[in-house]
Structure 1
Amino acid sequence: MASNNPAPEALYVPNDRDAFGFGGDGGGETWDEWNPTEDSVRPVRGRHRVAKQRGGLARSSTVLGVGVIAAVGAGGIASAEGKAPVSISLPDLPASVTDHLPEVIKADIAPDSASGTETNTTPLSTAGLTTSSSGQGTTDAGETLRARILQQAEQQQAGADAEAQAAAEKAAAEKAAAEAKKKQDAAAAKEAAAKKKAAEEAAKKAEAERLAKLAASYSLPVASYTLTSHFGDAGSMWSSGYHTGLDFAAPTGTPIKAVHSGTVKSAGWSGSYGYRTVIVLDDGTELWFCHQSSLNVSAGQKVTTGDVIGRVGATGNVTGPHLHLEVRPGGGDPIDPMAWLQARGINP
């Protein structure tokens, strides 16, 4: 490294005991005032030389070193844009200080091998620049800081946009799922209603077929008639206090037919019932045909649906010719003949 002319000698140089210009013993040493002139402060060959201090740090060196460190720590806030690089000489720093400095600053304050002084030729405008920033052509620390801030802001904005987009996509997916479920539920309800309707129609059809089949095996007891009394009608004419059968009024001699196939249990006179025929069906139900004028069957005889078993009359306790029909399941108490016939497809 080329040598420089020494800087103008100061009027006062602190001794070893007073590194900062004050007497160590408080003896009150004095010095003459120094008035700098243009010649005395002119730089020598573009660089300033400061003698290395071994006994302690000079005030100027200390302040300057702290300024450099502050500038670097602030990320290059101090900028010397457009100015020529300035050489900076620093005294030796204790190891306790240099060990904690960044590598880039350690390199800048490394001792000058030729002169034994620590020289920094890096412009202040580039302090705080990283290697990647320099490789990208960035030479201003302020611009680097600004770029970093903008980059961080962009990253944060991108993160916020991504979160907003994710939330919007989630909301859209949930809405689509809800709509799909609603449509699915509606379709399921519609399908269930259709199945229910089909099942009801099928059941109705099956019942109609069953009744039609039963109707083929059941028959009304008389072909032409008028219903005059129903089951449960109250009155003093009946010993039980109410009517126990269904009355088919018809002219005397009108043929009486077997309602269903069965076996004749009895055929003859039965007091207030007049001439009566009792037919037992396969399930044990007894059918009573009462007030007949004549009988055409006898006990033990097998009959089928539609066979003539007697004639309408007015025998027993009656007020006129009619057929009194009773239905007694298992030979017990009578039930409504109308409901029993309707359940078998016959509508009197």
Structure 2
Amino acid sequence: MASNSPAPEGTDVQEQPTAGAWGEWNPTEDSVRPLRGKHRVLKQRGGLARSSTVLGVGVIAAVGAGGIATAQDRPQVAISLPSLSGVLGGEDDAADTAGSGTDAVGVRAEGTRTGIVPRQADRSADAGELLRSRILQQADSQHEAAAAQERAETERAAQEAAAKEAREAQETARKAAEAAAAEQVAKEAREAEEAKAAAEAKAEQERVAKSAGSYALPTSAYTLTSHYGDSGSMWSSGHHTGLDFAAPTGTPVKAVGGGKITSAGWSGAYGYRIVLELPDGTEIWYCHLSSMSVTGGSVAAGDTIGRVGATGNVTGPHLHLEVRVGGSTVDPLAWLTARGLNV
């Protein structure tokens, strides 16, 4: 039989009679009842298991009195047990014992056999609940941290998308502004060019209109050699159809009035010829030219249109001038004189 350690100091254990006074101790069925319920035996570290029976207490008392005696010749006696509150650790355990309806021996046996003090069991339950609470709290914290990180990532992605969209919109607006500015510059350039061309055309029209009321001699430093109507075998029609202004080759030939050039080029017996049409439809022919300064467009009175030459059917350098009204030739001398020119 395993021996038990002495009861701790301060517990409510009554002093047991010595072996000489009581003799043998014989527990009865009334003093020892069977244990109730399911119990676990807690193994102790580094020593023998603690006994949970009243017999252990009796053994301690007997050993302290000087030995173990047999209990066959002794009468049954009642013994007192230590306070359960001191052994089990508190009033709560004693209350549990009183409320269970068992005697002190049965409760002590139950408590010591299982090796678990009720308060310690409560504390273990509280510790387990606290651990579970901490684990759940940690899981919630991790979940909240993950959710916060996800929200932060979502917000960051949204901010980046918004910033990118803003940059793209800004770039689009900048390109649109540059395109609009370039278009405006091009438009202004076109308008300026058109305005310039219109001003030049208007100035030309005004110059031509102004010169239409004025007239100029066809050349200078000349000598009249043949007049309109002169007859002779040198002309195919038998008579001269124009007025000849003899002058050195290269002498400037000028427009007698404002008008437009309708023809310029080689013309057989006339050599190089320029035809000037006046606003009233009158045509002025400049023949036997050595060169032509203009070949088309509008000219004003006094503008140089060519040079005196000797091209075509000629006997020397001169300007053959013809004036045609309605397709028929007229006397150039009379026509120029009628326009206030002193030929």
TM-score (norm 1): 0.37
From the two aligned structures, give the one with the greater helix fraction: 2
Larger radius of gyration: 2
TM-score by length of 2: 0.38
